[in-house]
Structure 1
Amino acid sequence: MNRNSNRGRTGNSGAKYKGRQERAQSGGRKPAGGRKIIRLKKRTELPYQQEAPVTRRTPRKSAAPTEMRLNRFIANAGVCSRREADKYILAGLVTVNGNIVTELGTKVKTYDDIRFDGRKLNAEKKVYLLLNKPKDFVTTTDDPHAERTVMDLLREACPERIYPVGRLDKSTTGVLLFTNDGELSDRLTHPSHNIKKIYQVSLDKPLTKHDMLQIAEGIELEDGAIAADAVSYIDGDNKTEIGIEIHSGRNRIVRRIFEHLGYKVKKLDRVFFAGLTKKNISRGKWRFLSQKEVQFLKMK
């Protein structure tokens, strides 16, 4: 009786394993149809809707450090990035236990009395938020000359002070990340990390194949050479709608590429940033990132 029972269970387990194996071997979604990709520089498609890949890696758990650099403490408190914190330190706006500190690299304890411009700083919980930025909003945390800023859209989002990771100019729409995690912000904006960005561009006239090849191979701008990682027509019948992938964070770089070749950018929409898309986020709306998305960003 026991042997027959065991054989039955073994048989079922084998069937389940075989089923899982077959499903694993057939995994992977087919690429979205209807868009013809022209690969010009390297074999990279334009994933206009792409989710953060699932990883089975278990993040290491570590205790919060009792000592850290002063600029990191300021960034973790949600004031600004570490690079900006260095400027505030040099300007004499930061005190530690009542003493002004202007030396970069100063180490502090997490229980020290650290103040920025007279305001005591405390370690806040980390917040990660994604906005689908509308047109005519300035990407800044504080600009007395701006009629509307992106922070106006997030006033009720959370009590923590968050700030944008990178910039989108006033007329550009699309994916914009906000956080008070200064370390992550620095990583995602530093040129050495080559963070991928994808834009949808609407031009005033059709883009020629010749100019598309120039964009892929590289052109010389006033601040140096630049080349797209990938570029394509979004619709083969409408050559004024272009998808371009680029990792450079230089100011107004996408607009300047097309203006250099004699085109006027009518609309510019960032549809992809560091693995994040604006899927299911209406223009002007926002959402918090999932824990899986945060872990994915921290792996970059």
Structure 2
Amino acid sequence: MKKEKAPTPRVLRLNQYIARSGICSRREADKLIAAGRVKVNGSVVKELGLKVKRDDLVEVDGRRILPESFVYILLNKPKNYITTTKDPRGRRTVMDLIRGACEQRVYPVGRLDRDTTGLLLLTNDGDLAEKLAHPSHRVSKVYEVTLDKPLAPEHLEAIKQGVRLEEGVAQVDDIALIKPHVVGLELHIGWNRVVRRIFEQLGYEVKHLDRTLYAGLSKKDLPRGKWRFLTKEEVIQLKYMMQE
């Protein structure tokens, strides 16, 4: 069944118009406006509260932009795909997996490294993406971690207490043994490669890392390498969670 698009309002605040074009969040749009990089109908504007109509000519850095309907795509990322829109070395990216999914330009929210599998959200909703990525919103992520050897009881306890890394103490929300060498781990911190580094600090090699839950979203019935649009209810729930 074809996905029904929500109509774009006829009149929008300028920062909202820019955000709806998919290039950035409203906060970042305000910075573009203040820097004089935005034109409306040929004139540079710096008035943050300016309202524009859908048929106005709005340009950012000389390029015309148009508001779009927001799109939210959930992908079950396989191994050996880069979480970026382009790769200068020609490696496969997550964009290859959703090619043709929508007309809008969507971007990954956060990152999964090349060897990590599991849930990844892609959207053109810059405001939501910014909130999901911000530490203050404490977005929960659950991983299944396969180690090169069984996890020792003392190391399980050490992870519960928090493992010190270069950024500080990495606190987890929950940890449980699934098998002697397979661990379920829930955390909200988003430091680079934080799950792998927690276990490396204790002398383990992570053989496989899979994100099974992200911000309440599950990969149930979503096979590896496949994607789906979020339901209306899921989008509402995500935005409710991100309310300031």
Question: Is this a same-fold pair by TM over 0.5?
Answer: yes
Distance 1:78 1:241, change over 3 A: same
Tell me, what secondary structure is at the counterpart of 2:154? helix
Aligned 8 A contact 2:14 2:52 in 1: no
Q: Distance between the aligned counterparts of 2:213 and 2:181, measured in 1?
A: 20
Q: Aligned to 1:295, which of 226, 232, 236?
A: 236
Aligned 8 A contact 1:76 1:183 in 2: no
Give yes or no for the alignment of 1:68 onto 2:10.
no
The equivalent residue for 2:42 is 98
TM-score (norm 1): 0.70
Aligned 8 A contact 1:138 1:146 in 2: no
> How big is each residue's C-alpha offset from its partner over 1:93-122, in whole Å with a ceiling of 9 and x where there is no partner?
543333456x6x833323242223433211
Greater strand share, structure number: 2
Tell me, what secondary structure is at the counterpart of 2:87? coil
Between Structure 1 and Structure 2, how many residues are aligned? 232
Distance 1:216 1:92, change over 3 A: farther
Distance 1:117 1:228, change over 3 A: same
> How big is each residue's C-alpha offset from its partner over 1:264-285, in whole Å with a ceiling of 9 and x where there is no partner?
1111100000111111111111
Distance 1:258 1:83, change over 3 A: farther
Q: Aligned to 1:148, which of 89, 92, 96?
A: 92
Give the alignment of 1:76-225 within 5 angstroms.
76-82=20-26, 85=29, 94-100=38-44, 106-111=48-53, 112-225=56-169
Aligned 8 A contact 2:147 2:208 in 1: yes
Aligned 8 A contact 1:78 1:180 in 2: yes
Aligned 8 A contact 1:80 1:163 in 2: no
Distance 1:280 1:115, change over 3 A: same
Aligned 8 A contact 1:95 1:115 in 2: yes
Task: Name structure 2 gaps, 5 residues minimum.
Answer: 1-7
Q: Distance between the aligned counterparts of 2:35 and 2:210, measured in 1?
A: 37
Give yes or no for the alignment of 1:233 onto 2:177.
yes
The structure number with the bigger radius of gyration is 1
Task: Name structure 1 gaps, 5 residues minimum.
Answer: 1-62
Aligned-pair Cα RMSD in Å? 2.4
User: Taking every aligned residue pair, what percent have the same amino acid on both sides?
Assistant: 52
TM-score (norm 2): 0.86
Aligned 8 A contact 2:30 2:48 in 1: no
Q: Distance between the aligned counterparts of 1:144 and 1:88, measured in 2?
A: 27
Aligned 8 A contact 2:116 2:210 in 1: yes
Tell me, what secondary structure is at the counterpart of 1:295? helix
Q: Distance between the aligned counterparts of 1:138 and 1:190, measured in 2?
A: 22
Q: Distance between the aligned counterparts of 1:286 and 1:210, measured in 2?
A: 39
